[in-house]
């Protein structure tokens, strides 16, 4: 699938925006299912562990007790296919359970208080609900309705990022379109309460400040980040680099977003400049940029270690055969403290609740022209002990 986004600057692939780039694997550390107990224990205790065992992997989430990891997978892009959530042992990355959901699964948001997993069905414009404790599917919330373009062609707006507000039992879902949309769902009643139309394009990333009750979303356009009052369902603030004066010629695409609640900073990966942008929330000013490599994608903030962690896929229009990695950035100096190669295309990130363990999904190249392409190769989950 190769839907494309064109906003005047570069051609940005929606496959990248919605985590839809398929591919192959390269093993770093691979546990053997039949290993003796002592050998198995040593592998599970490794500082970096990689499990290459998944087809069509996308986002990752960690359970409240840090015992399980959930990853979203699909078999292929056929419209009639369902999706799958794989529950893995958080230490060994061995598969414990496969949960089927009605639609193709891409994004994940976990309410650790209610033990509810929300699955973004990107191509179907909906949200699947799963009981994270039992794995039982609890239904689907249809967020989008089909729209027609000027030619009368019908399409379904996509869902992208799924962010959970545990304090108020709400779910926030972004939609990368022109204009972008943000949906707010009541988790108690599983009903849509607000649909917010962005003043930008390709609204993609999101982060929530529970203390201030503010939702932040990242996008392209003149204002790359919006602040939203989720109670009112209204945009109440805007952050801009000042680099774009016409949304049709956007200089940036802020694809993912993370927040430092205590320090009141926002961190966003820019898929156009391949940098992490840092904004001060109080002033709304951009305070730093950090280059991380081609194909900048996901970002998380580790408050326990004051570190910003970002993935880059290693590919661009100019570098179609690249390989990506992970950057760990010091939150005080904004210097890259550590770089980890994660061939071939690192995708999504999730931290354990204590901030000591990082989980990364890694995609294989989906085109046979890539030098690392292998027939029937599988995608991966990597566990990295940050201590």
The ranges assigned to domains in the chain are 4-54+133-146+156-385
Q: Which residues contact 334 (CB under 8 A, 6 or more apart)?
A: 278, 288, 290
Q: What is 4-54+133-146+156-385's CATH number?
A: 2.130.10.10
Pairing of strands 357-363, 345-351: antiparallel
Closest CA to 222 of 241, 235, 203, 236: 241
Look up residue 10 and give its DSSP letter.
Answer: S
Give the per-residue pLDDT at 53.
94
Strand intervals (E) in 63-210: 68-73, 83-89, 95-101, 107-111, 116-121, 126-131, 137-142, 147-148, 154-155, 162-165, 170-175, 181-186, 191-197, 201-209
Rg (Cα) of the chain, in Å, rounded?
Answer: 19
State how far Cα 198 lies from the chain centre: 20
The whole-model pTM stands at: 0.89
What's the pLDDT at 12? 37
- Going from the first residue of the chain to its last (387 residues), give the mean pLDDT of each consecutive group of 10, the final group possibly shorter: 34 36 32 44 78 96 97 88 95 97 96 98 96 96 90 91 98 95 98 96 97 98 98 97 92 98 98 97 97 97 98 92 96 97 97 98 92 93 96
- Tell me, what's the pLDDT at 43? 65
pLDDT of residue 69: 98
| Secondary structure of residue 16 in the 3-state scheme | helix
Dihedral (Cα; 54, 56, 61, 63), 10-degree rounding? -40
Handedness of CA 204, 184, 231, 197 (dihedral sign): positive
């Amino acid at each position: 699938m190769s839907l494309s986004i064109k906003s005047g600057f570069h051609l940005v692939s929606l496959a990248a925006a919605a985590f839809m780039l398929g591919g192959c694997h390269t093993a770093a550390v691979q546990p053997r299912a039949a290993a003796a107990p002592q050998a198995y224990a040593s592998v599970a205790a490794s500082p970096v562990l990689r499990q290459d065992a998944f087809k069509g992997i996308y986002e990752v989430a960690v359970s409240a007790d840090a015992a399980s990891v959930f990853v979203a997978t699909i078999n292929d892009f056929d419209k009639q296919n369902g999706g799958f959530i794989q529950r893995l042992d958080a230490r060994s990355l061995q598969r414990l359970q496969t949960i089927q959901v009605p639609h193709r699964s891409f994004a994940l948001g976990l309410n650790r208080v209610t033990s509810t997993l929300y699955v973004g069905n990107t191509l179907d414009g909906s949200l699947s609900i799963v009981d994270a404790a039992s794995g039982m599917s609890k239904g689907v919330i249809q967020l989008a309705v089909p729209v027609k373009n000027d030619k009368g062609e019908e399409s379904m707006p996509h869902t992208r990022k799924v962010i959970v507000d545990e304090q108020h039992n709400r779910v926030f879902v972004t939609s990368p379109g022109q204009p972008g949309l943000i949906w707010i769902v009541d988790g108690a009643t599983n009903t849509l309460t607000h649909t917010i139309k962005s003043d930008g394009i390709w609204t993609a990333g999101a982060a929530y400040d529970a203390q201030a009750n503010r939702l932040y979303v990242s996008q392209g356009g003149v204002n790359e980040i919006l602040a939203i009052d989720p109670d009112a369902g209204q945009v109440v603030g805007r952050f801009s680099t000042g680099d774009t004066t016409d949304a049709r010629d956007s200089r940036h695409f802020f694809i993912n977003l993370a927040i430092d609640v205590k320090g009141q900073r926002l961190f966003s990966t820019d898929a156009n400049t391949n940098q992490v942008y840092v904004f001060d929330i109080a002033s709304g000013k951009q305070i730093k940029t950090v280059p991380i490599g081609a194909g900048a994608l996901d970002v998380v903030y580790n408050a326990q270690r004051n570190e910003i962690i970002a993935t880059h896929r290693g590919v661009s229009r100019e570098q179609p055969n690249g390989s990506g990695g992970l950057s760990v950035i010091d939150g005080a100096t904004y210097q890259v403290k550590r770089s980890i190669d994660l061939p071939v295309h690192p995708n999504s990130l999730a931290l354990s609740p204590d901030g000591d363990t990082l989980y990364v999904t890694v995609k294989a190249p989906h085109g046979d022209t890539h030098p690392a392409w292998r027939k029937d190769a599988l995608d991966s989950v990597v566990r990295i002990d940050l201590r």
